Structures are given as C-alpha cells and as structure tokens.
Amino acid sequence: MSFPPGFLWGSATAAHQVEGNNIASDFWAFEHTANSIFSEPSGDACDHYRLFRQDIALLAELGLNSYRFSIEWARIEPEDGLVSRAALAHYREVLEACHEARVTPVVTLHHFTSPRWLTALGSWDSPETPERFAAYSRTVMTELGDLIPYACTINEANISRVIRLILGDDGPRSVQQAPVGLGTGGAGAAEPAAHAFFSRKSFLTTYNENAFDVVTRAHQAARQAIREVSPDTKVGITLAVQDVQPLPGEEKTAQRVWAEQFEDFLPAIVEDDFLGVQNYSRIRVGPDGMAPLPEGAEVTQMGNEFYPQALENVLRRAASAGLPMIVTENGIATDDDTRRIDFTRLALEGVERAIADGVDVRGYLHWSFLDNFEWMHGYTPTFGLVGVDRATQRRTVKDSARHLGEIARRNALR
C-alpha cells in the first residue's frame, strides 16, 4: 500500500535543543541554577542556529519532504515588548531554506522554553500569559506567515499532566535558589523558588487547574491571532498521547487517565485544522496509577518500554477528535541504530494499517533529526537520525535516516 498523496515525511527538532546559546530563555537560567537537576547545560547544542542550511539540505538529500522546528520566543522577544528584527530575519532565512529545498516547514511557536521575563511574571500560571503568547504569535505570523503552511501553537500542551502521572501529585522537587537572575534581581541574585524550574509556575510542571486554563486559553488566543494575519496557515496543537492500557479490572482508571491527558483538551482544539500526535510508548495503569514495566521488557535510554505498536493504538483512539492528524513526534532513544530502524518500521506498519482503515493521518515526522540536548538528561540519550560530534559539530548520517528516507521516496513501506 502507498501512503496518501502529499503525505508529509520528515523529522523534527526544537530550538532550545539544537540551536545553542538560547541565553534569554528560562531554561538557560534553569540549567545554570545551583543544584539544578539538569545533568549539563545546553551550551552550543548542535549549533543549528548557524548550521541550519546544511542540516535542511541534508534532510532533503535523504529524501524527506518536511521539517518540523520551533521558533524561539526568547529570541523573538528577549525583553518584554522588545521584538528582535534580527531574530525574525533569521527565522525567515530558515523558512526560505526549507522552501528552496522543497521541504514543507511545520513550525512550532512554543516548544517548552519561554523568555526569562515571562517566568518572572508568573509564566504559565499567570492569567496574562494567553494575551502575551497571542501577541508573540501575531508578530511571528505577520512577518513570516507567508512561509508557514502549518503552525503548531504549543508543543505537548498536556505535558504537565503526563509528568504528574509519572511522578505523582507532588511533581519534581523544587530547587532552593536560582543564582542566575530570572527577574528583577539580575544575574547572580538569589530568586524565589517559585521562579525556579521545578516550581508549579514552569510550563512543564503547571499542575493546577488554573494553569490548565491558561495553557488552553493561550492556544485559542494564538489560533485566533494566526488566522487573522495568516489565514492560509493551518493551525493545530501537539499533545503527548500515551497509549493507556489497563491492568485487569482497571478499565475505569485507564479511562480517567485518558480523559485527563486527551479528552479534557478537546473543547479547546475542536476548531483546529489538525492535531499533532506525539507518542513514544505505552503506559499500563493499575489501582495506584502507572504500573511498572512488564518483567523482561526492552527499555530505551529514557526508561521507556520498547513498544512501537503504541502509535497505531493512539492514532485510532485520537481519531475521536475528528481532526486530521500529523504524527509530529515518534522515535526512540537508543545507541543501537538497528533498533531505531526496527522501531520506525513497526510504528509505520501501524500507521499504514490505521490509514487503510480510514484514520486520517497526513504525515509522520520522526523525533529527532539530530542527536540533541534532551533537557535534564543532557546529551546522553540519542534520538537522532543524524549523529552530532559536539566537539566539531560534524554530522554523521545513520542507517535509520537512510531507511526512513527510502520509505519517503517510495511513499510506501515496501
């Protein structure tokens, strides 16, 4: 079977994880906070801010026709109300490089990181954030929307609920001080713990219902702004969609977990043009929440179960949203590239079956294009189709990249 005409075959990155030196962002500060749980700072990352042209050319040379990347809010608006024309010009060059290479850009406007100044104002727990995010989105799309066919407003808007499921209601510990200034205290000043990474005011750990309301309103406000200034752009959101499987007798528990992570977001996305589905594995649910992995299960570098069948399951279930879907992330952290090939093949066989049964899937964007900065885990986990020697920034194409590229050229698995 062939995939539908115009199917998006590509890979994905996020600005903070690959660009390097994102010094105006909250995460840069969090990485340099005393007692930070980040294993290392992001630093130069993959130097993609400088090397984007060669990376996009390589992606196209491999046979991929789409690239998902994020525009960094902290670069566009490094201080509250101050728009960087240079940053806008840079991202225009990135977008132009995609179009010149005949690569369809899928742009994410917020991929976890925010400007430091937003954190000082309450970040994603502040009722002012939706308006500020919409203003930023309007600025980007007014300047660049002519080059952006697909815009994802917020990456994994449900991620805090996923983290809560994994780590429990208390969430991660808070650091006690932030020697890198996040607000008016300036660099070197001790900041309140409420402004540190593992507070309930950080995007990744906004557990309370007020924060849920802020995130969903921010998406809706941004969607409206985008449609006003760039009506031809298709607008959506991405969700981390877990394949929730109940242990015997725990069907109601699993349904509650699914509702918290997916169904609760449906009212906010019903008017979207598409849904970005992101999946890496399954979770099994028991009476006390997430159950341990099955005995003897193969485990990835991130501690996930090797379970590529999860993607088909979540696509079939997420189809209840009634929106066209793009797989905006799917992949595996491993140093064994043969297992990456196996994972991708098995996941895509599931996508193929779902499409054959009428599930509306428009694309598959593998995570990630480059071995990159994997947040608090640093550079140890390797998700990339392309390896990166960070001492030299030399790229090495893996067999898994060629494997996916060959599928993309055929628009078929075999």
Q: Per-residue pLDDT tens for 143-179?
A: 999 999 999 999 999 988 887 777 665 444 433 333 3
Span of 10-24, 125-139, 205-219, 365-379 with lowest mean pLDDT: 205-219
- Look up 329 and say whether it is catalytic: no
**Can you give the pLDDT at residue 169?**
55
Amino acid, res. 104 = T
Q: What percent of the chain has pLDDT over 90?
A: 81
Quote the distance between the C-alpha of residue 140 and its chain's center: 19
pLDDT: which is higher, 348 or 289? 348
Cis peptide bond upstream of 368, omega within 30: yes
**pLDDT on residue 86:** 98
Cα separations (Å) of 205 from 169, 275, 292?
Answer: 10, 22, 22
Instruction: Please give the pLDDT value at position 125.
Output: 86
pLDDT at 337: 98
**What does pTM read for this prediction?**
0.92
Please give the average per-residue pLDDT across 251-273, as a whole number.
95
Choosing from 156, 312, 352, 374, which is the catalytic residue?
A: 156
Residue 367: name the closest of 333, 402, 330 by CA.
330
Residue 289 has pLDDT above 50, yes or no: yes
At residue 120, the pLDDT reads 85
User: What would the mean pLDDT of 283-304 be, rounded to a whole number?
Assistant: 92
Say yes or no to pLDDT of 257 above 60.
yes
**Tell me, what's the pLDDT at 206?**
55
Range picked from 29-38, 76-85, 285-294 for highest mean pLDDT: 76-85
Q: In the predicted model, what is the mean pLDDT of the chain? A: 90
Angle between helices 209-229 and 129-144 (to 10 degrees): 30
How many beta carbons lie within 10 A of that of residue 81, not counting itself?
8
Tokens of residue 367, six digits: 């995570």
Q: How much is the pLDDT for 279?
A: 97
> Which pLDDT belongs to residue 207?
56
- Which residue has better confidence, 399 or 125? 399
**pLDDT score of 34:** 84
What is the distance between the alpha carbons of residues 355 and 249, in angstroms, rounded to a whole number? 31
The pLDDT assigned to 190 comes to 32
Q: What is the percent of the chain where pLDDT is above 70?
A: 90
Across the range 95-99, mean pLDDT stands at 98
* Residue-wise burial string across 157-188, b where 16 or more C-beta atoms lie within 10 A, e elsewhere: bbbbbbbbbeeeeebbeebeebebbbbebeee
Check if the beta carbon of residue 248 is closer than 8 Å to that of residue 284. no
Question: What pLDDT shows up at residue 175?
Answer: 32
d(Cα 320, Cα 377) in Å, to the nearest integer?
A: 34
Answer yes or no: is pLDDT of 243 > 50: yes
Per-residue pLDDT tens over the stretch 203-228: 555 556 678 899 999 999 999 999 99
Across the range 390-408, mean pLDDT stands at: 98
Collect contacts of 89-96 with beta carbons under 8 A, ≥24 apart. Answer: 90/49, 91/140, 91/144, 92/143, 92/144, 92/147, 93/52, 94/52, 94/56, 94/69, 95/144, 95/147, 95/148, 96/147
Q: Are 383 and 278 in contact (CB under 8 A)?
A: no
Q: Which helix (H) or strand (E) holds 238?
A: strand 234-240
Closest to 155 in 3D by CA, of 258, 76, 233, 239: 239
Q: What is the mean predicted confidence (pLDDT) over 400-407?
A: 98
pLDDT of 180 strictly over 90: no
pLDDT computed for residue 174 by the predictor:
36
Residue 107 has pLDDT above 90, yes or no: yes
Tens of pLDDT, residues 48-59: 999 999 999 999
Q: pLDDT higher for 168 or 187?
A: 168
Q: Quick check: 196 pLDDT over 50? A: no
Determine the pLDDT at residue 36: 84
Q: Is the dihedral angle over the CA atoms 270, 276, 282, 285 positive or is it negative? A: negative
* pLDDT, position 227: 98
pLDDT band, residue 33 (cuts 50/70/90):
confident
The residue written with tokens 């980007």 in the block is: 140
- Does residue 128 register a pLDDT over 60? yes
pLDDT at 197: 39
| CATH numbers and ranges of domains, the chain | 8-410 (3.20.20.80)
DSSP state, 385?
A: S
